[in-house]
Structure 1
Amino acid sequence: MLPVACGLQGWMKKLVQQAIRNDTVWRCIDRALGSGGPLHRKLLRSRSRLPGYGPEREAFVAKFGKAFPQRAVCHGPFAGMRYPEEDESGRTVYPKLLGSYERELGEVIESVIARQPSAIVDIGCAEGYYAVGFGMRCPDTRIFAFDNNDVARACCEAMAQLNGVEVRTGEFCDRETLLGLDLGERGLVFSDCEGYENKLFDRSVAERMAVHDFLIEAHDFIEPGTTERMLEAFDATHDCRVIESVDDLDKASGYDFPELDGFEFGERYEMLAEWRPETMRWVYAEAK
């Protein structure tokens, strides 16, 4: 009976996927279940991960484009930063242009900007959201941006030029490279390097860079225990705190921006989602 049961389960899964992929069916489900319930959340998450996201995808992209005709960030610490027509940010361009991207870090980012650090290192800079954004808000700060992806670095350089910011880009930032940078009196190391933080940071690095601050995205889903290792590395030399991300579905139901007016719940989800595999954490280590 086991093969029959498995086959039936697979058939039912495909049937559900086909149903929630259909925009007409989904609108009926959306109205029937209401936004934010546990079943609605589960189905919406599944629908959003399906290839193509339904036949109305092009219409949504066009609708989004009308809401952001200037391709400039609307809110948050980097409001006004312009994005090139072609960039490497993919679906996350929506929350970045809206200004909701990693909104959980807003308070820390503003405190860093108020301090006007001598240098900022962005490890895993992607298309340059943070590197260029910090460069705009901290005009006298030296900005270093590293990414292994050639396309990402090219996009970062293009966005820097578009916004009149000087960014020094590089490929791989290992421990030797980081320790060799001249960060001045008090800099910031901003790290989003997909688990490599476990090899890059330890107590010896924290001690050698004790006058600088660190904001590290901890990828516990890649290597469990990452948050704890980062805290252990910096607790003797820095004041540390952990910041947790907000679930994408909670953003869709709780975030309120005027640009979201006129968009249905599923569209709001698409605009706000950051497509994380689970709730993320950041470790902010501030020099004592």
Structure 2
Amino acid sequence: MFRIIASRVLAALPALVRKTVWWVTDAEWRREFGEVKKRIRVLKKRKIKALQKIYPQTRKEVISGPFQGIKFADRPFRMKILGTYEKELHQCFEQINGKPYDLIVDIGAAEGYYVVGLARMFPEVPVIAFEANPKLHRACLELCKLNDCLDRITIKGLCGPEDLIKSIELATYPFILCDIEGAEWEVLNPELNPDLYKADLIVEIHEDYRAGVEKILLERFEKSHCINIIPSVDRTLSDFPTEIILEDDLKLAAMDETRCKMSWFCMHSRR
């Protein structure tokens, strides 16, 4: 009984605290963690080598996927120029293409890859980009400017529940993309924000950051939305764009997003 209670208490703690507890108390976890860190260091070196060979073969544009054609001024963030980034979601974006949204909200916009991609997909629709890290705002602005969509983009900081309420309250049919490291628990609460019932959403689920978040979001949205759960999958050589010439081992390294097993919710409003 004590072990069950202890495991439940641990699962409820923030990710950093859980990792600290595991580091102090679990020698096997420390060993596995060290191996993962070593693999990431090796992978980073291989990614740099791959990018040195990939980049000269491109026109500084995303070369595949639903956001093909996004321009980059410099070497792109996380090898997104390949178009294989979060390839699991490509079908979801194809399904929403052409829907009559009147507002797009990207929560966790980072450097603006999806901000620009969605702005290009919906060329008449305003986009609000929330990004908690102010150091990324300049990169997002520059990417939007380079792709001629800056006039429709509003960049804001941290998104709390009240910020989202104010953002979508006047929209008739909003689309929300959310990737906020477990804070989806607080921000996506239709009891506080009933306007979420009219929105379509794609949400990255961070169960490793916030144990139980997958279950709570299912409970919140299963009656109001059709929910497609998209699991993460490893990339294969067949995913790599045929336009690029590269050794097979570097192809896999270039597409590796260093993810643990996780999932996304692709949610379509029943309204």
Match of 1:192 in 2: 179
The secondary structure found in structure 1 opposite 2:203 is strand
Alignment of 1:19-168 (within 5 A): 48-50=39-41, 53=44, 59-68=49-58, 70-85=59-74, 89=77, 92=78, 94=79, 96-166=80-150, 167-168=153-154
**CA separation in 2, counterparts of 1:85 and 1:256?**
21
Do structure 1's residue 178 and structure 2's residue 156 form an aligned pair? no
**CA 1:65/1:175 → structure 2, altered by over 3 Å: closer, same or farther?**
same
Instruction: Give me the identity figure in percent.
Output: 25
Are the structure 2 counterparts of residues 57 and 262 from structure 1 closer, same or farther at C-alpha, using a change threshold of 3 Å? Answer: closer
Which of the two has higher C-alpha Rg? 1
The residue type equivalent to 1:170 in the other structure is: K
User: Equivalent residue of 1:141, what SS?
Assistant: coil
Distance 1:101 1:209 in 2: 27
1:272 deviates by: 0.4
1:57: Cα distance to partner?
Answer: 7.0
- Give 1:232 deviation, angstroms: 0.8
Shift in Å, 1:120: 0.7
Q: Deviations over 1:13-52 (max 9, x none)?
A: x9xx8xxxxxxxxxxxxxxxxxxxxxxxxxxx77641268
For 1:253 and 1:86, the matched residues in 2 are separated by: 22
Match for residue 216 of structure 2?
229
SS state at 1:275 partner? coil
Point out which structure has higher relative CO (alpha carbons under 8 A, 6+ apart).
2
Q: Kindly report the root-mean-square deviation, in angstroms, between the aligned alpha carbons of the 2 structures.
A: 2.4
**Structure 1 residues 47 and 110: alpha-carbon distance in aligned structure 2, compared to 1, 3 A threshold:** same
Equivalent pair of 1:206/1:234 in contact (CA under 8 Å)? no
**Number of residues of Structure 1 aligned to a counterpart in Structure 2:** 236
Distance 1:224 1:86, change over 3 A: same
Higher mean C-alpha deviation, range 218-227 or range 206-215:
206-215
Retained in 1: the 8 A contact 2:50–2:253?
no
State TM-score, norm by structure 2: 0.79
**1:253 Cα shift?**
3.8
In 2, distance between residues paired with 1:80 and 1:270?
23
In the alignment, residue 41 of structure 2 is paired with which amino acid? L
Q: Secondary structure at the match of 2:73?
A: coil
Q: CA deviation at 1:245?
A: 1.2
Is the 1:242–1:284 contact (alpha carbons within 8 Å) kept by the matching residues of 2? Answer: yes
- What CA distance in whole angstroms lies between the structure 2 residues aligned with 1:221 and 1:150? 25
| Structure 2 Cα separation of the partners of residues 108 and 262 of structure 1 | 29
Task: Tell me, yes or no, if the aligned pair for 1:207 and 1:237 is still in contact at 8 Å.
Answer: no
- Cα distance in 1, alignment partners of residues 37 and 252 from structure 2: 12
TM-score computed with the length of structure 1 as normaliser: 0.75
Alpha carbons 1:47, 1:53 under 8 Å: kept: no
Contact 2:47 2:253 in 1 (8 A): no
Offset at 1:193?
A: 0.4
Whether the aligned pair in 1 keeps the contact of 2:165 and 2:193 (CA below 8 Å) is: no
Looking at structure 2, the residues matched to 157 and 123 of structure 1 have their Cα atoms a distance apart, in angstroms, of 15
Q: Could you say what secondary structure the match of 1:208 adopts?
A: helix
Counterpart residue identity of residue 83, structure 1: F
Partner of 2:265: 283
Q: Separation in 2 of the partners of 1:203 and 1:179? A: 10
Contact 1:203 1:232 in 2 (8 A): no
Q: Secondary structure at the match of 2:236?
A: helix
Gapped regions of structure 1 (runs ≥ 5): 1-5, 18-44
Q: Tell me, in whole angstroms, the C-alpha distance in 2 between the residues paired with 1:57 and 1:217.
A: 24
Aligned pair 1:263/2:247, yes or no? yes
- Give how far 1:116 is off: 3.9
> In the superposition, relative to structure 1, how do residues 150 and 86 fare at CA in structure 2: closer, same or farther (>3 Å)?
farther
Structure 2 vs 1, CA of residues 110 and 140 (structure 1 numbering), >3 Å: closer, same or farther?
Answer: same
